[in-house]
């Protein structure tokens, strides 16, 4: 997804730090709206348009005489803040490169921090989790190719695949479908009309405001990513707004999560086993007796189109 440029406020100890941080903010894709020197903090604060700031970057030694006033201000500040002592911010110093990478990473994560604290606009009202393993990319491509544009849906595509191939899935979807795909990152939003791709080794969770959190630890259990874990979390967060389609794949990942989706009032569909590369995953979900529709990927796309246009007319088919 396109990163929104944030307006940052700087509070720094020296003009040299000011120059370095302006450059880092630019590299991160954001812009500096306000820049204050710590020594003139109180006077400068009264003259600046601080209401135009989305987040603050505060870098100064903790022993600075201005710190008490800044500390009082920070306690009342409702915006995200990055604080650093600036001890390694001098270009050419032995620790500068590591400091620069650390601050740049924090700046690049600011959008996520802000989204996690708010209720972002554009969050999908209805979610469909597309779950797949062996043969999944081809089946999901066929499904997306048969979908019309402008369905009011947010897709979450969960694919068993080795780490490092996430971008190839995104590229495939964007080549063949109307629903822009992106690899999920911490703080991303599940927008209507888009496809969030979950295919990495790190555990991904979802929050009820429609945002994504990415944990540092690996997925629980033997599958990566864990489809059951994704379905369980989305069922808990979104209730009957969350639905699932289980495509071709090996194993039983998704069967337990499908029950939770069904219990919350969501739809559970599955690819027709005869059309699968490996049928064990959809067969295990069908065996739970919660699946209401089966079909080829193209048929499932047609059913989804009809369902989104008139969900009350959909009858159970097995």
Q: Which residues are catalytic?
A: 133, 160, 253
Neighbouring-strand partners of residue 101: none
First and final CA of the chain: distance in angstroms?
37
Q: Please, which residues have CB within 8 angstroms of residue 234's CB and are 6 or more apart in sequence? A: 127, 129, 156, 206, 242, 261
Q: Which two tokens stand for residue 73?
A: 């201000």
Q: Which two tokens stand for residue 83?
A: 């604080």
DSSP codes joined into one string, 52-68: G-SEEEEE--TT-TTHH
Separation between Cα atoms, residue 184 and residue 153, nearest integer Å:
17
DSSP H or E run through 248? none
Separation between Cα atoms, residue 56 and residue 83, nearest integer Å:
8
Separation between Cα atoms, residue 111 and residue 55, nearest integer Å:
10
- Give the strands of the sheet with 7-12, arranged side by side: 31-37, 7-12, 55-59, 81-84
> Which DSSP symbol is given to 148?
P
């Amino acid at each position: 997804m396109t990163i929104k440029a944030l307006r940052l406020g700087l509070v720094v100890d020296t003009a040299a730090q000011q120059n370095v941080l302006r450059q880092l903010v630019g590299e991160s894709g954001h812009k500096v709206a306000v820049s204050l020197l710590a020594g003139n903090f109180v006077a400068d604060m009264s003259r600046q348009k601080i209401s135009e700031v989305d987040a603050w970057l505060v870098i100064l030694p903790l022993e600075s005489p201005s710190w008490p006033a800044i500390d009082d201000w920070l306690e009342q500040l409702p915006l995200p803040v990055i604080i650093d002592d600036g001890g390694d911010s001098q270009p050419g110093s032995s620790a500068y490169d590591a400091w620069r990478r650390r601050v740049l990473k924090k700046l690049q994560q600011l959008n996520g921090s802000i989204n996690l604290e708010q209720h972002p606009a554009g969050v999908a009202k209805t979610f469909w989790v597309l779950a797949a393993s062996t043969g999944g990319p081809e089946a999901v491509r066929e499904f997306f190719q048969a979908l019309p544009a402008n369905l009011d849906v947010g897709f979450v595509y969960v694919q068993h695949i080795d780490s490092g191939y996430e971008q190839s899935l995104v590229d495939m979807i964007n080549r063949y479908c109307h629903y822009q795909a992106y690899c999920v990152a911490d703080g991303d939003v599940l927008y209507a009309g888009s496809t969030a791709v979950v295919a990495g080794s790190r555990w991904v969770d979802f929050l009820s405001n429609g945002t994504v959190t990415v944990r540092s630890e690996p997925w629980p259990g033997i599958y990566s990513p864990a489809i059951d874990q994704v379905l369980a979390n989305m069922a808990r967060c979104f209730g009957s707004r969350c639905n699932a389609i289980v495509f071709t794949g090996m194993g039983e990942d998704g069967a337990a999560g499908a029950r939770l989706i069904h219990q919350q009032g969501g739809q559970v569909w599955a690819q027709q086993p005869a059309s699968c590369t490996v049928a064990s995953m959809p067969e295990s979900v069908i065996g739970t007796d919660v699946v209401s529709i089966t079909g080829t990927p193209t048929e499932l796309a047609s059913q989804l189109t009809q369902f989104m246009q008139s969900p009350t007319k959909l009858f159970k088919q097995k």
